[in-house]
Amino acid sequence: MMDSIRIGLIGWGTVGCGMLQTLRENAKEIQARVGVRMDVVRVADLDLDSPRPVSVDPHLLTRSAQDILDDPSIHIVVELIGGLEPARSFIMKALEKGKHVVTANKALLAHHGNEIFAQAAKCGRSVGFEASVAGGIPLLKAIREGLSANRLDTLFGILNGTANYILTRMTEDGLPFAQALAEAQRHGYAEADPSLDVDGIDTAHKLAIASAMSFGTSIRLDKVYVEGIRDIDLLDVQFASEFGYRLKLLAIARNTNGLVELRVHPTLIPERHVLASVRGAYNAVHIHGNAVGNIMLYGLGAGMLPTGSAVVADLVDLARDMTLGIVHRVPPLGFLPEYSSEMPVKPMDDVVTRYYFRFSAVDRPGVLSKISGVLGANQISIAAVIQKGREVEGAVPIVMLTHEAVEKDVRRSLEAIDRLDIVRGPTKLLRIEDRTDNAVASA
């Protein structure tokens, strides 16, 4: 039996420091769980001079990832540099050289995960990627193993802490989007270029991975419908509150009779739903299984130590298998590849849900009836209306909530309404998820 697991780390950044600190502080507990030491024997990064919160013995440092890939004594390569290349090439080479891999790279897995997992199977090696989705929350392990007795039909939740922090500040403190974003950047919750977070792309990467694992398909990023929060107006946050809703950037995956919905967009959810109370940079995910019913996982979705903890959890899993001579005890996405199926994905035009509209209309008699007439002609039924007398940029806001409607009917209606001479600007559309209300309601 081996007396230590030798690890090579590529990427000595925030998450790399979290991994190193966790391994050091919890070394005794980790060895007690695994039975062998976990030794980081090489650390590669192009920048070895910037100060870090966690130091590394200078003798272990290198600027060349190849030094790790070419070292036959290293058992596991941890890739934490992010991006598509050279991360993909490093992982493929590590597998070819007989090394197991751990990564936190959700963008890479969303784009190339199917290829990477096939390569791992070919090489008889494993890939751990718990840290790629929801940071310190053990979401993927829960889906792949803890819920393996279930047929999962629903997964939805908050998977991006940056967007949730911004929406929390807009809701609770009345900050406009630009100010809330600037604050998130000052606190380190948002990057200088926040596009991946605020445009919903980061959430889409995570949903592509989690939904494949939930429904037994390959990863299909190109099938995920994506809208971000960049265009959210404070006025809509305030109107949503008047109707008893909170606005969240939700990742939504549903399997209804073999037809899958995959979408990411700003969503109104009832104030009494537990997801509505998820504040700041926290993540939360609701899952429904046919045997277990409804569950929700909650915690920090990013950060040095939470994400570092998830990386180390993968190392522990790999070490346990290695000490027993086991490979691929659990398939990467939970389902054996020969049993995987490509369920059809429902086009966004065919999605049925409820809607929030805000029209900017002139203040004259008959406006409401004209708008209602167009909606009715397209099979859209109105559930509630708020009409404010105050002018906003030369127009009066009219806010409507609908009953369930088909997306393509909604789009056709709004195109017609926006052409009316009584409307002053494009209509604001947000989707409502009341089906979350009968899932997990707060007491």
Cite the annotated binding site for NADP(+) by residue number.
10-17
List 247's β-bridge partners, or say none: 268
Annotated binding site for NADPH: 106
Both tokens assigned to 36: 């062998």
Q: In 3D, which of 272, 206, 210, 250 has the Cα closest to residue 353?
A: 250
Taking the alpha carbons at both ends of the chain, their separation in whole angstroms is 51
List 263's β-bridge partners, or say none: 225, 252
Q: How far, in Å, CA of 417 to CA of 399, rounded?
A: 14
Q: Which of 206, 223, 248, 428 is catalytic?
A: 206
Write out the DSSP string of 40-65.
EEEEE-S--SS--SS---GGGEES-T
Both tokens assigned to 372: 């209602």
Q: How far, in Å, CA of 378 to CA of 413, rounded?
A: 6
Q: How far, in Å, CA of 78 to CA of 311, rounded?
A: 8
Sequence-distant (6+) residues with CB within 8 A of 204 are 110, 221, 224, 226, 251, 264
Annotated binding site for L-homoserine: 191
Check if 206 is active-site. yes
Annotated binding site: 10-17, 106, 191
Q: How far, in Å, CA of 137 to CA of 210, rounded?
A: 13
Both tokens assigned to 6: 């030798």
Report CA-CA distances (Å) from 58 to 6, 42, 377. 17, 10, 72
Catalytic residue numbers read: 206
